[in-house]
Structure 1
Amino acid sequence: MSFTHRVLIVRRDVDDPYRPAGQASTQMVVYFPDGCPATRPAGLVHTGLYCQHAEAVCPGCIDSWTFSHFVSDPTRVPTGTPTALRFTWATVYAAPTDADL
């Protein structure tokens, strides 16, 4: 099985689904154009118990992901690209003023 495509997934804000959530969970995951495999394929990052459609995206499950996440269009990636990257966007806060101290 090849890992040639990725999508970027960003959690939506619960109160305003048109913007990312504060401290939004963000990840780049494998996109399987032919469907998510039923079992963890060799080479996919081990993050615990594998659940089909929970650690990757395919045409059959992309709509369920977009309910609570922004999902980018799939893109082809070079050989050797990590199968998953996870990070959190920090929320921007105003710098404290002297009155706040």
Structure 2
Amino acid sequence: MNQEDVKFRFDVLEVSKSDRGYMITVLVQVRWLKEVVYEGPVEISMNDIGIFPSPAHIAAATPYKGVRGKLGAELKRYIKIQKKFIPELAE
């Protein structure tokens, strides 16, 4: 298995505000070369300290440990870029 063959596509589905930050549900599409191997939601918690993808949801997306790490890192990078817009989406 080659991690370079794995591509992700993200879409923000829902943002809700909680007392400890924001809960974000992101639709993730995991592609292996041209084939979609997983499409489903991954929940992400976000507060002033950081961005925390749900380990259980990432594990459901792929059985491969290396791809899980890459997916978590890519999700954090994707949400970090949009961090200033997240509060507007929660209203």
Please give the range of the TM-score, normalised by the shorter of the 2 chains: 0.3 to 0.5
With a CA cutoff of 8 Å and minimum separation of 6, indicate the structure with the bigger relative contact order: 1
Q: TM-score, length-normalised on structure 2? A: 0.32
Choose 1 or 2 for highest CA Rg: 1
Larger % of strand: which? 2
